[in-house]
Amino acid sequence: MIFELLLIGLATSALYYLIFAYKRANYWRSQGVPGPKNPLFFGLYDQVYNANKPWMMEMEKMTKEYGKIWGHNEGVHRVLVVADPKVAHEIYHTRHEEFQTRRGNHLLHMNRYEPVMHLLDARGTRWKRMRSISNPLFTNNSLRKMMDLVGDSSEHLIKHLSKHVGKEAFNIHRYYQEFSMDVINRLALGEKRSTQFETELVDIMKRIFERDMREPFICLAVMFPRFRMLFRRGFELYYLMKGGSGMKLMKKVVTAVEGRRKARAAGEVTPGDFIDMFLDAEQEDFNLDYDKAFDRRDIGHLQRALTKEEAIGSCFMFLLAGFDTTANSLGYATHYLARNPEIRERLRDEIKGVIGDATLKFDDLPQMKYLDCFVKESLRFHPVANQVSARVVEKDCDLAGVHLEKGTLIQIDGYSMQKDPEVWGDDAEEFNPDRWMNTTAEQSQAFVAFGQGPRMCVGQRLGLTEMKMGIAKVLLNFDVIAPENADNEIHRIGAVTVAPITVDVCLKAIHA
């Protein structure tokens, strides 16, 4: 009898789950929102996290098919994709408080159970508090102070690259990875000197960023979010046994921060880098407000403080966020440099015209208008962290005529917006830096390589400075040329950020 009852119970639950899954898979259609057919349990999970076929490009194909607003599911999560600049502007700016949190890692518990939190995943008031400490790191004055260090790392980049002058083609992207890691390693891990090609950090990072995210524990968390802490423990145990790259990196961060704490306690003079800034904000006893959504009326009461764990989380995230994005963006930009001799010449003339025989300084960069246009045009074609620019709906609301329930994810499809002919004109697919000499308000809204609004990339100015410094130094020292019979298409990889698999170029001495 008990066995029969159990069987009936199980069959009823399975039936209930099937009906629920069917309704969920058809949710968007029932709301009149277009989109692809959602496989019953997983939705498009398998496509969204496939590193070998980056979702950014797949999403663009679907936007072409279904229009500028469409929906799909990611496991149990409903996702609305937005490729309309005006609607994106509402989400980023005018209605920020309704869409203030990023989608976050599916294994993370927003927020209460996450002591080692960082800016990228923090929610509500906690995010605002952490952001108020990070913003001052990127003012003009702070960047000017960092410039000696960026300049020194770019000199080392040139030294390493010179080995290839007059030789066969090589992958310059690897050198940019060493360069951007060098800068962020010195700022966020307190490394005292340039260590390009001397540490294992780039290899650790590559393993993290090029990883296919369709892993069993993540898949289970996407399917059954209520149990994600359980899957998280499984995930951690698995990588602990395997010696995972994320764990290795976290160990290095903890060692660096603990070392700096001791040095400060011993009264040593420390460099005033990111670690020092985070440790300056450290406090033991303050109101954490872990779970509270942000309300702008609270601004006056925000404490500018971090917990010990948040200081560690912040260094960890700056290391991750500052490395891959900048190196990839430099790689893509060089792909275009190598194929456009007129652009190279024009850039070189502009750079030489500004600096003459002097060394390039931070204050020279704003005078290089064409360099700025070139960098933006490259970012327009390759918004490397497009998938990061997403938001969660805080409470039930309507957006662009669609009713959204609390918890729905909104993914901004910047890759489509940045090439939309209705915004950029019929030559939207043409690489043309001059278009940036005059831009319309709609084009500014559609350019989201760094996101937009209060939650946009906090490191944008450092990323742009590194890119401009790197490109200017390379152009002053070498001619960068695409190898004969080079493939004009860029092959890409990545489930969160999108990297070029290789950027092969030949270097020639300029005066040869």
Q: What are the residues binding ligand HEM (CB under 6 A)? A: 102, 119-120, 131, 317-318, 321-322, 325-326, 329, 384-385, 388-389, 449-451, 455-459, 462-463, 467
Check residue 3 and give left, alpha or beta (phi > 0: left; psi -120 to 50: alpha). Answer: alpha
In three state form, how does the secondary structure of 130-151 look? HHHHHHHHHCHHHHHHHHHHHH
* Four-residue CA torsion sign, 433, 434, 437, 438: negative
By beta-carbon proximity to ligand HEM, the closer residue of 204 and 412 is: 412
User: Is 388 within 8 Å of 497 (Cβ atoms)?
Assistant: yes
CB of 375 to ligand HEM, least distance (A): 9
> What is the nearest approach in angstroms of ligand HEM to the Cβ of residue 437?
21
Of the two residues 24 and 252, which places its CB atom closer to ligand HEM in the complex? 252
Letter for the amino acid at 147?
M
Please state, in angstroms and rounded to a whole number, the distance separating the CA atoms of residues 203 and 177. 10
Closest approach of ligand HEM to the CB of residue 243, in Å: 27
CA dihedral 470, 472, 478, 483 (to 10 degrees): 70
- Residue 350 beta carbon to ligand HEM: minimum distance, rounded to whole angstroms: 20
| Residue number, 26 or 142, with CB nearest to ligand HEM | 142
Q: Phi and psi for 410 in degrees, rounded to 5?
A: -115, 120
Q: Report, in this order, helix, strand and coil percent for the chain, each rounded to 5.
A: 55, 10, 35
Tokens encoding 79: 């996702």
Quote the crossing angle between the two packed helices 228-242 and 245-265, to the nearest 10°.
90
DSSP code at position 306 = B
Residue among 75 and 322 whose Cβ is closer to ligand HEM: 322
Using an 8 Å Cβ cutoff, are 161 and 175 in contact?
A: yes
Residue 21 one-letter amino acid: A
Q: Which is nearer to ligand HEM, 42 or 332 (CB)?
A: 332
User: Of 24 and 260, which CB lies nearer to ligand HEM in the complex structure?
Assistant: 260
Residue 315 marked ligand-binding: no
272's torsion region: left (phi>0), alpha (psi -120 to 50) or beta? left
CB-based contact 179:196 (threshold 8 Å): yes
CB closer to ligand HEM, 70 vs 450: 450
Q: How far is the CB of 459 from ligand HEM (least distance, A)?
A: 2
Work out how close the CB of 435 gets to ligand HEM at its nearest, in angstroms, rounded to a whole number.
Answer: 19
| CA–CA distance, 186 with 272 (Å, rounded to integer) | 11
| Nearest position to ligand HEM, beta carbon | 451
3-state secondary structure 211-273: CCCCCHHHHHHHHCHHHHHHHHHHHHHHHHHHCCHHHHHHHHHHHHHHHHHHHHHCCCCCCCC
Nearer to ligand HEM, 250 or 456 (CB): 456
Residue 10's SS3 state is: helix
Angle at 371 between CA 365 and CA 377, to 5 degrees: 135
Closer residue to ligand HEM (CB): 73 or 326? 326
Output the smallest distance, CB 133 to ligand HEM, in A: 11
Element (H, E) at 381: helix 369-381
Smallest separation (angstroms) from ligand HEM to the CB of 36? 24
Judged by beta carbon, residue 161 or residue 467, the one nearer ligand HEM is 467
Q: Considering the complex, what minimum distance in angstroms separates the CB of residue 325 from ligand HEM?
A: 3
Least separation in angstroms between residue 166's CB and ligand HEM is 30
- Listed residue (374, 375, 410, 377) closest to 392, CA to CA: 410
- 390-392 vs 409-412, strand pairing mode: antiparallel
DSSP, collapsed to helix, strand or coil, labels residue 412 as strand
Residues belonging to the binding site are 457
Residues belonging to the binding site for heme are 457
